[in-house]
Amino acid sequence: MTAKEKQPTNYKEYLGDGVYMDFDGFHIVLTTEDGISVQNTVYLEPEFPERIAQYRDRVHERIKK
């Protein structure tokens, strides 16, 4: 089964600005949608949420300076 053939899940949530987040059992899947179809898809590895948190922390530290 290819990534495009993956079955829909019950995890899909709207984040705002046409961006949705889903979970395919391994990846966090981000999509951009125009109300009719998916325009872009990004598959994030399981480690990615921690990387986002680390980036957020680095940015907050820089802003404080």
- What is the distance between the alpha carbons of residues 61 and 47, in angstroms, rounded to a whole number? 22
pLDDT digits (tens, 9 = 90+) for 1-46: 455 555 667 899 999 999 999 999 999 999 999 989 999 999 999 9
Residue 2's pLDDT is what? 56
Residue 65's pLDDT is what? 78
- What is the distance between the alpha carbons of residues 24 and 37, in angstroms, rounded to a whole number? 18
pLDDT of 53 strictly over 80: yes
**pTM, whole model, 2 decimals?**
0.73
Closest CA to 48 of 18, 26, 31, 15: 26
- What is the distance between the alpha carbons of residues 51 and 18, in angstroms, rounded to a whole number? 23
Residue 55's pLDDT is what? 96
> Could you tell me the residue ranges of all domains in the chain?
3-64
Residue 6's pLDDT is what? 59
